[in-house]
A and B are shown apart, each in its own frame.
Chain A
């Protein structure tokens, strides 16, 4: 049995002041010390735990943590999982479920292993290759499912608070002719 390190990582995507906001549940996960994969241990609102495990990992490969937060840091998948109930249509729901199966199949075909058993380098390689093929050959189900998923992952990421540290709900005014230094100063003090 592999050594599983329980992290109790908490996903809190999308919490806000309004009652209408999509609230993502608190999910528990464990990190596999060998593969580095974050294994979700409880089902989400739409996806199963196994599906979430794959999709959380794919989202993190798409937008990894660097000097800025990654997809996992900004809770992309818990938000996306909740949006499956409040936003997604039947077609998208089917597409994303199918995508997990297709990625699993790709892993088996390429490495003769389940996706979650692959090491980080292999998973990066697999998803990078999938990304290239999804745009080179756009007509396959896999390509369409992947591109749709990628688009939503990016949308959720780039509309997150963490990805927009300088965003001001209330800027208080407009300046259209300032230098970068002036902009940094304004952002630092938080007002014009």
Chain B
């Protein structure tokens, strides 16, 4: 008979689910991880990273039938959706969401063991003191109940385990941590970085901080991980374990304790609530294939199903005490949906490096951290933005397939090295708006009978002002950096920016001190249900400008440590 009672249930096996599993298993708790998607083996047949471009089916082009059949309606055409990576991205046609017609929303998902940890961007940046203080300072959203100092030791802890290749830059905006050898900047990147540093007191171009190993530790080696091979194949899976994922690191660490039970193809429909004890009793799942329901019980439930996934489960978990969803006495479950957004993309030629080349494919970009935590004279918006930027590789002039010309001459031309170009994408901080909300659709359900998530979210005037200033700023920075032939692609003022497009969706079950205005306390523990924790992106009270996964992981490890103490003391 299969076991159905555990110490801890972890819902989701991605970035945070893997961490929760590892922490609880290593502390000796019988832990069940429930993944709604299929099983994926690390280094298994779904990894395509050992294929050369000419060995990939259809030369890595997505079959045209996908377009004809309306598959992947939001991400078809995105650079990351290739024939060699499509297995790790969820088809929105099969798993629809709902949104207002005039405000399309993107929810990029990866329904498989390991979730989006297989395809994430691996840029791991600490948040700063100011990022945790912003809500309290300007009155938007729910004030964070924790500060940087609460998380700092957990950042250390997480970075030590996952492996972060980065430079100690000494910047308050992105505090330094436990780093392995950084990746090298290209010659033009060094040039731009040097020019910016000479001109500005507050702006720096730094090499990205990558969850890719450059100097693996003994612990990482023992888990079967090795140094990154600079292939930039990360979204295909990595047979070397060069980048951090649940499959390469946290789940193997959990498994080796003998305390882990893993079930896949099981969709958590509800967190079950025991009216007598006032606690979550466990979860009810629906088998993805047979659609049969079954339940699991545990002393503690950790929701790590991604921000929107966890919100959907919370809202769908209705009971006598929580008619609007479990842990929702405040009525704020689903509110304050956020994402980063890109309002301007700039690129320019970097002359003077005709004799410089690169070898290999660096797996991380460069980065200009947020320099606008405070308002500057002449600006009338709050918070700020950073830029993900790169001049990693020098390309050839390329083919002329889209231009006139054939024959020997254009073929020869295609092999000529092109000038270096530098590309920068704005990553803006979206304010936590109460009316940016995810709710359950009143009538539409998915194929398992679970109400669809309806997401109504948009940027507002503060973000439009940020875009205007960010456009001026990046043009100036590229000029000062030494770029010429600068192109600016600015999102028009009236064009809706799809929230979710940056795949950093956050909020919906925000942390806060006040149970009347927030869902979770400083431990990411539900105010209403003490054995229920939500430690994925849903718990974030603001979104800052940095890639958030490192902070999710630190919060998860911290909360798991806290919950473990409560379990040991018998409080849970």
Residues in A lying within 8 Å of B, measured CB to CB: 14, 16-18, 20-22, 61-64, 66, 68, 79, 83, 86-92, 124, 127-128, 131-132, 134-136, 147, 150-151, 153-161, 164, 167-180, 182-183, 186-187, 192
Contact = CB atoms under 8 A, between A and B. Distances in A.
B153 interface: no
Interface of B: 48, 50-61, 63-65, 67-68, 183-187, 189-190, 229-231, 355-362, 392, 399-408, 411-412, 414-415
A187 to B, nearest CB: 8
Q: Which 6 A-B pairs have the closest CB atoms?
A: A89-B64, A16-B55, A176-B186, A171-B360, A154-B401, A174-B360
Given A64-B407, A87-B61, A131-B405, A174 B361 contact: yes
Contacts of A156: 59
A15 B466 CA distance: 51
Given A87-B61, A192-B360, A180 B406 contact: no
A120 to B, nearest CB: 12
B64 A92 contact: yes
Contacts of A134: 404
A83 B59 contact: yes
A150 B406 contact: yes
B210 to A, nearest CB: 11
Contacts of B403: 135
Contacts of B56: 21
Given A174-B230, A176-B184, A178-B359, A89 B68 contact: yes
17 contacts: A14-B59, A62-B407, A66-B412, A127-B406, A153-B401, A154-B399, A159-B60, A160-B54, A164-B54, A168-B360, A170-B229, A172-B229, A173-B229, A174-B361, A180-B357, A183-B358, A187-B359
Nearest to A175: B359
Given A14-B54, A178-B356, 18 more contacts: A21-B56, A61-B406, A62-B406, A63-B406, A68-B411, A90-B68, A135-B403, A154-B401, A155-B61, A168-B360, A169-B52, A171-B230, A173-B359, A175-B358, A175-B359, A176-B392, A177-B190, A179-B357
B407 A61 contact: yes
Contact of B362 (A128, A164, A174): A174
A87 B64 contact: yes
B359 A21 contact: no
**Could you tell me the dominant secondary structure of chain B's interface residues?**
loop
A43 to B, nearest CB: 21
Nearest to A168: B360
Nearest to A157: B399
Given A128-B406, A135-B404, A172-B229, A164 B53 contact: yes
Nearest to A67: B412
Given A62-B407, A176-B186, A177-B186, A22 B361 contact: no
Nearest to B409: A66
A60 to B, nearest CB: 10
Given A172-B229, A174-B362, A83 B402 contact: no
A79 B65 CA distance: 18
A187 B57 CA distance: 26
A178 B357 contact: yes
A161 to B, nearest CB: 5
B408 A66 contact: yes
A178 B359 CA distance: 8
Interface centre among B55, B61, B403, B406 (most CB of A within 10 A): B406
A174 B355 contact: no
Contacts of A186: 359
Contacts of B190: 177
B360 A159 contact: no
A86 B58 contact: yes
B63 A86 contact: yes
Contacts of B59: 14, 22, 79, 83, 155-156, 159
Interface centre among B59, B186, B230 (most CB of A within 10 A): B59
B166 to A, nearest CB: 14
Contacts of A170: 229, 231
B359 A171 contact: yes
Nearest to B358: A176
B395 to A, nearest CB: 12
B413 to A, nearest CB: 12
Contacts of A87: 58, 61, 63-64
A22 B185 CA distance: 37
B187 A177 contact: yes
Given A151-B401, A174-B360, A175-B359, A21 B64 contact: no
Contacts of A124: 407
Contacts of B58: 22, 83, 86-87
Contacts of B64: 87-89, 91-92
Contacts of B57: 18, 20-22, 86
B70 to A, nearest CB: 12
Contacts of A175: 184, 358-360
B359 A18 contact: no
Contacts of A90: 68
A12 to B, nearest CB: 11
A173 B408 CA distance: 34
Contacts of A16: 51-52, 54-55
Contacts of B186: 176-177
B52 A161 contact: yes
Nearest to B229: A170
Nearest to B411: A63
A159 B184 CA distance: 27
Contacts of A167: 52-53
A176 B189 contact: yes
Contact of A66 (B54, B187, B357, B411): B411
A127 B407 CA distance: 10
B330 to A, nearest CB: 48
A151 B359 contact: no
A14 to B, nearest CB: 7
A154 B359 CA distance: 24
Nearest to B415: A68
Contacts of B50: 17, 169
Interface centre among B55, B61, B65, B402 (most CB of A within 10 A): B55
B357 A183 contact: yes
B362 to A, nearest CB: 4
A165 to B, nearest CB: 11
Given A66-B412, A159-B54, A172 B187 contact: no
A14 B355 CA distance: 34
A18 B51 contact: yes
Contacts of A135: 403-404
Nearest to A13: B54
Contacts of B411: 63-64, 66, 68
Contacts of B52: 16, 161, 167, 169
B22 to A, nearest CB: 29
B68 A159 contact: no
A157 B190 CA distance: 34
